[in-house]
Amino acid sequence: MNKKERLVAAIENGTVIDHIPADKTYQVMNLLELQSLNTPVTIGNNFVSKKVGKKGIIKVSNKFFSDEEISRLSVVAPKIVLNIIKDYEVVEKKTVETPDELRGIVKCNNPKCITNNEPMETVFHFVDKENGLLKCHYCDKEQDINKVELC
Ligand SMILES: [Zn+2]
């Protein structure tokens, strides 16, 4: 096995998260709460990718993410592909679906919004998925998904 193959070596069962833009790899970890898992997690970053420039790959053994968990990634990296691995084989590839609603994932950029002044979860609805336009449930302020801050 050469050095590159070893870095991306297969796992027996679990999820390989691929095509993460390199600068988003750590945000993906946070959104999936990988720090709190007890299973082996391998992170590789700055691999060359035709799709996204430099990319990150995260391999998580013995873990399969729910659609709700996967949809959180739409805020940072909608092009991500999750390879579901069973017995060292890719049995399914999942892409990120943009959800209708985001709860507790992004901050409202309106400083007067109640969510910035009370300890509560933010709620956003997509008003335009194509263009990544979100609207705050509480103050109606619209925001561009490319400019939002994560909670
Ligand atoms: Zn708001």
Q: List residues, by chain if needed, whose CB lies under 5 Å from ion ligand 1.
A: 108, 110, 113, 136, 138-139, 141
DSSP 100: S
- Domain 101-144 in CATH 2.30.30.20? The answer is yes
Residue 43 pLDDT level (bands cut at 50, 70, 90): very high
**What is the 150 CA–ligand 1 centroid distance (Å)?**
14
Would you state the structure tokens that stand for residue 94, as one six-digit string? 């999942």
DSSP reduced 3-state for 116: helix
**What is the 139 CA–ligand 1 centroid distance (Å)?**
4
Residue type, 85: I
In sequence order, the β-bridge partners of residue 47 are 55
For tokens 């709190």, the residue is 36
Would you state the structure tokens that stand for residue 3, as one six-digit string? 């050095």
Inter-residue contact 97 to 71 (CB < 8 Å):
yes
Supply the pLDDT for residue 77: 87
Supply the pLDDT for residue 29: 95
User: Is 151 annotated in some ligand binding site?
Assistant: no
Inter-residue contact 104 to 151 (CB < 8 Å):
yes
- Domain 14-96 in CATH 3.40.50.300? The answer is no
Q: Which of 66, 65, 47 is nearest to 56 (CA)?
A: 47
- Measured CA to CA, the distance from residue 65 to residue 63 in angstroms comes to 6
**What is the 81 CA–ligand 1 centroid distance (Å)?**
31
For the chain, the domains span: 14-96, 101-144
Give the tens place of pLDDT for each residue, 70-112: 999 988 888 899 999 999 999 999 999 889 999 999 999 999 9
In sequence order, the β-bridge partners of residue 92 are 84
Q: For the chain, what percent of residues have pLDDT higher than 70?
A: 94
User: Is 108 annotated in some ligand binding site?
Assistant: yes
